[in-house]
Amino acid sequence: MTGYVPKFATFAIAAFVHTAAFAALMDGSYVASAPGVWGSPVETTVVVKQGKIADISFKHNETEGVGSRALDVIARSVVKTQSLAVDAVSGATASSKAALMALSVALQKAGYQASNGVKNTVQTAFGDASADVVVVGGGPGGMMAAIELSRAGKDVILLEKLGVLGGNGTFTSTYIQAGGTVVQAKHKSTDTTVEGFAKYLSGYPDTDPVMAQTVAPESKVVVDFLVENGADLDRIFKPFAHAPSDGRAPGLEITKTFTKALEKEKVDVRLNARATRILMKDGRAVGVEVTPLSGKPYKVTAKAVILATGGFSASKEMLKQFAPEAAVLGTTNSAGTQGDGHRLAQEVGAKLTDMGKIVLNPSTYNANGTQISFTALRFTSGGIMVNQSGNRFIDDTSNDKTGVTQAMIKATGGTGKAFLIFDQSSVSKLAIIKDYVQKGYVLHDKSLENLAKRLGIDPKGLANTIAKYKTYAESGNDPEFGRKTFGCKFDTLPYYGVKIEPAVHATLGGIAINTKAQALDKNGVPIKGLYAVGQVTDSNLGRHNVNVFVPPSFARIAVREILKETK
């Protein structure tokens, strides 16, 4: 094996280690995609002839010479071996994983399922099992929980329904927050203590101050853990925000660091393994039923169950039920955010709260159906948002994503289609935006007039707006919208512009929990043995419920509680 986290690769591959499976494939052409590096789609077309894989091609935006090479190698190997049991290409593991994931979905469409009578090696590898704790969901919350349990000497099984770990955590584009961290100490930051962070969180509407105080110390430990285990989170901006030093998105740093730690701990990680039922005995959660991608369902019994399955942004069905106005929008989220944990918990009596509350992301670019977030640019190096007339409509740097979206919809006659305009200085500051430019999401031009015409904006309107904005940037005062920071001054050519539209960024509602991360029933009583962390919960942190520091922080709390309970 050359791929990273060989143990996981083995598990992933175990699901496909039989060429016989492909003999049952139906002839045809099958298309599927998975998020690649930076979240842009890797789309595969698999052609099946006479029950065999005849051809594989990829459409993608992966880095030339690295990711693109990996896709070529994987396509050739899979066709040659008629198997997905191929190694990830060293140095391009994220692209390799995206390719294998897209291929596995395409092959399912071709009939690659247990129900077609195919002999299944997974059954042997993963039959009924038992552990001290079973963790459901391999995002930041689930990974942290599994690592902590393993470090405490517990037997843990981590289930992830997709073929890759990371969940939405991999897509984290801008920052991970915490107070009092080793990074802040190193940079001699002043107002960045644990207490200060708790106070900051409590200052937002709908935030329960007790929850804020509970989570703040954990967030420090989480960020310190990531940094001590190799993550570059060395750039501090806004109070409390940590990100890679060169302006990359933090998501891959976070996922890579957690996966390495899981590997080090030799945690039993099962990919393509979806939890489909919580097992209950005498009112206590005692495990889960698992339905693997390939093979028969099996049971994992345990003394406790931690649900870390994320939100439901990618479930049209649940959006229609709880937030119908958002069901028409795309989403920036991982395909795994289908609300599984919400349903599983509800089936065993858990209370779901605030299910209609969602967060929209105003600044996403629609790359063939995958919504790419430009939040990093809005928050760090500025730029302005304009409508088709070239007019601004809000403080472009506002953190109130839903408020910005509402203003955007109003300013665009209900379409929500607007533009983000910036200059070279913004691009130079952020590696993530350089990558987006390379991928062709963004147009650039030395002439503002040409850029406006190419984007479909009124050139005069845009020129007037930028002239006005420059005076605001110079005086540090925006009398129109109260903007406070002016990272982009439109003083470095070329100009850049990208079409943006709102997308579902996160769902806020979920399983009601207490400060011990215990899932509560309709009467507010903990359901024995059942814990929930991260986006599957309503953690009562208001807008901050959606943030990536929350799931691993509550994971630590849940683990502590389980250790007490199972002493």
**Residues near 142 by beta carbon (within 8 Å), at least 6 away in sequence:** 135, 136, 158, 160, 167, 306, 308, 309, 533, 534, 551, 555
Give the residue with the Cβ less far from ligand FAD, 38 or 469.
38
Give the residue with the Cβ less far from ligand FAD, 337 or 412.
337
**Residues near 364 by beta carbon (within 8 Å), at least 6 away in sequence:** 330, 332, 371, 372, 373, 374, 500, 501, 502, 503
CB of 273 to ligand FAD, least distance (A): 6
CB of 551 to ligand FAD, least distance (A): 4
Residues 529, 373 contacting (CB under 8 angstroms) = no
Give the residue with the Cβ less far from ligand FAD, 83 or 337.
337
Which helix (H) or strand (E) is 207 found in, with range?
A: none
Give the residue with the Cβ less far from ligand FAD, 14 or 176.
176
Q: Which single residue is written with the structure tokens 């963790």? A: 135
Give the residue with the Cβ less far from ligand FAD, 25 or 513.
513
CB of 26 to ligand FAD, least distance (A): 27
Nearest to 456 by CA among 494, 500, 488: 500
Give the residue with the Cβ less far from ligand FAD, 337 or 465.
337
Residues 158, 142 contacting (CB under 8 angstroms) = yes
Is residue 35 left, alpha or beta, with left meaning phi > 0 and alpha meaning psi from -120 to 50? beta
Give the residue with the Cβ less far from ligand FAD, 208 or 458.
208
Q: How far apart are CA 58 and CA 45, in angstroms?
A: 6
CB of 240 to ligand FAD, least distance (A): 10
Which helix (H) or strand (E) is 100 found in, with range?
A: helix 93-109
Give the residue with the Cβ less far from ligand FAD, 83 or 361.
361
CB of 20 to ligand FAD, least distance (A): 27
Q: Catalogue the E-assigned strands of 118-213.
A: 129-130, 133-136, 156-159, 176-177
The dihedrals phi and psi of 205, each to the nearest 5 degrees, come to -60, 155
Q: How far apart are CA 378 and CA 58, in angstroms?
A: 32
Give the residue with the Cβ less far from ligand FAD, 22 or 175.
175
Positions in the binding site for ligand FAD (CB under 6 A): 136-142, 159-162, 167-169, 171-176, 274-275, 308-310, 332-334, 336-337, 340-341, 373, 534-535, 546-549, 551
CB of 528 to ligand FAD, least distance (A): 21
CB of 142 to ligand FAD, least distance (A): 6
Q: How far apart are CA 477 and CA 196, in angstroms?
A: 27
CB of 312 to ligand FAD, least distance (A): 10
CB of 161 to ligand FAD, least distance (A): 4
Nearest to 42 by CA among 86, 91, 104, 90: 104
Cβ count within 10 A of residue 466: 20
